[in-house]
Amino acid sequence: MQTVKVALFSSEQDRSYPIYIGNALLEQVDLLLPHLPQKRVAIVTNTTVAPLYLDQFRRALERHGICSVAIILPDGEDHKNWQTLNLIFDALLEQRCERKTTLIALGGGVIGDLTGFAAATYLRGVPFIQIPTTLLAQVDSSVGGKTGINHPLGKNLIGAFYQPRMVLTDSATLTTLPDRELRAGIAEVIKYGLIRDADFFMWLEQNITGLITRNADILNKAICRSCEIKAEIVAADECEGGVRALLNLGHTFGHAIENAMGYGVWLHGEAVAAGTIMAANLSKQLEFINESDFERICSIFQKIGLPVSAPKLSPDDYLSLMKLDKKVEEGRIRFILLKRIGEAMMSHDIPASTLRETLLTCMANE
């Protein structure tokens, strides 16, 4: 036998990237220019966002000598699949987009995840920029390089870690965001306080009205602090070997809810809200947090108008949906729990009876 070694040490390349956050940044194309290897980009957006921001953005690009191709997809979580991904590939090939053509995601989380996955796999990888236009995408999905699509059996089961070259967050785009989506996005903002920053959580409790009424300063501060926390965690653990898993507070339950109800029926943030209550209930049962902490958590979600009860399913249905989660190991489901408000932990060892109790307690009665 002979052995040949393929010697692959990580390249020295610095893949760090900036997130620019502010009001009316969409036309500040000078922020993008240093990140474009070619004076041609492909903008991927959807039928909801295109009429609002596409022309404005393309004209701004044109003023800087950048020509663009637009790919307009149908809107909604139920389009986050192979078929839609293939629409992107077909358009990129028809338009002769090359390895140096940058893909720009202009839209919410679905557009960002689809475009990022397309960028990761088109010609084995092309440059990618995120311009998130929903609160959820601005505080969560546009940062950190998780990309992917859903499979009929579960959410985000197919995908890649693929980092953008930059993120441009124009909080002015939130003025056109439907109220329900704004509220769903706040669920992820609250998550950052719960897992990492008790002071931020308290600030959110005090400023919840400002968030809901879209006070620009309060929104910018909330987005910025959320991105800081996410950036810190992603830098420590890019591919979710450890601490990054804490970002999934409420998500194991939440994904089961989204899957059970059919993608798009519950918004992701709504499912995360109910899922976070379930995780908090588990944490309370295990005596990490007390009743008053639990009440604070329920109360903030209620004030936002987010669901605090899970849809009624049999506990076995929940368990079998949760076992489809990406993070199952040797058949055991991984849960993110709250040690206290401002600190999360991971556990693979939740007694079955405790979990069942949480499922039964947290389900809506009707």
Restricting to residues 170-229, name those near a copy of itself by CB under 8 A: 220, 224, 227-228
Told to check if 329 binds a copy of itself by CB under 8 A, we report yes
Is residue 225 part of the annotated active site? The answer reads no
Task: List the one residue out of 145, 136, 132 whose CA is nearest residue 188.
Answer: 136
Catalytic residue, from 150, 156, 248, 281: name it.
Answer: 248
**Other beta carbons within 10 Å of 47:** 11
Site string for a copy of itself, 55-84 (x = CB under 8 A): ---------------------------x--
Asked if 122 touches a copy of itself (CB under 8 A), the answer is yes
Q: How far is the CB of 199 from a copy of itself (least distance, A)?
A: 18
User: Does the annotation list 151 as a binding residue?
Assistant: no
CB closer to a copy of itself, 134 vs 283 = 134
Least distance in Å: CB of 330 to a copy of itself?
Answer: 7
Q: Which of 40, 146, 196, 334 is catalytic?
A: 146
Q: Which of 10, 292, 353, 365 is in the footprint of a copy of itself by CB under 8 A? A: 10
Which one, 145 or 307, has the nearer CB to a copy of itself?
A: 145
The stretch near a copy of itself (CB under 8 A) out of 55-63, 116-124, 341-349, 355-363 is 116-124
CA atoms within 13 A on the CB side of 201: 20
Does 291 bind a copy of itself (CB under 8 A)? Our answer is no
Piece of 260-268, 304-312, 320-328, 341-349 that binds a copy of itself (CB under 8 A): 320-328
The three-state DSSP-derived secondary structure of 168-211 is: EEEHHHHHHCCHHHHHHHHHHHHHHHHHHCHHHHHHHHHHHHHH
Distance CA 364, CA 366 (A): 6
> How many Cβ atoms from other residues are within 10 Å of residue 159's Cβ?
19
- Contact positions with a copy of itself (CB under 8 A) in 21-60: 21-22, 25, 38
> What number of CA atoms fall less than 13 Å from residue 28's CA on the CB side?
13
State how far the Cα of 279 lies from the Cα of 250, in Å rounded to an integer: 6
Query: How far apart are the C-alpha atoms of 233 and 242, rounded to whole Å?
Result: 10
Sign of CA dihedral 214, 217, 218, 223: positive
> Which of 13, 365 has the CB closer to a copy of itself?
13
Distance from C-alpha of 111 to C-alpha of 74, rounded to nearest angstrom: 10
Q: Is 352 in the site for a copy of itself (CB under 8 A)?
A: no
> Would you say 110 is a known binding-site residue?
yes
Told to judge if 146 belongs to the known catalytic residues of this protein, a careful annotator would answer: yes
Per CB under 8 A, 16 contacts a copy of itself: yes
Helix (H) or strand (E) holding 45: strand 40-46
Rounded least distance, CB 333 to a copy of itself, Å:
11
96 is catalytic: no
Q: Does 120 bind a copy of itself (CB under 8 A)?
A: yes
Q: Which is nearer to a copy of itself, 1 or 353 (CB)?
A: 1
The reply to whether 312 sits in an annotated binding site is no
Burial class (CB in 10 A: 0-12, 13-18, 19+), 114: buried
Q: Is the CB of 195 or the CB of 300 nearer to a copy of itself?
A: 195
124 is catalytic: yes
Rounded least distance, CB 361 to a copy of itself, Å:
28
Taken in order 321, 327, 333, 334, is the CA torsion positive or negative?
negative
Mention every residue, 6+ apart, whose C-beta is less than 8 A from residue 148.
113, 116, 117, 156, 157, 158, 159, 160
Question: Is 268 marked active-site?
Answer: yes
**Which residue in the block uniquely carries the two structure tokens 């990129």?**
92
Q: Is 339 a catalytic residue?
A: no
Q: How far is the CB of 336 from a copy of itself (least distance, A)?
A: 16
297 close to 342: Cβ distance less than 8 angstroms: no
Q: Which residues are catalytic?
A: 124, 146, 188, 230, 240, 244, 248, 251, 255, 268
Binding-site positions for Zn(2+) read 188, 251, 268
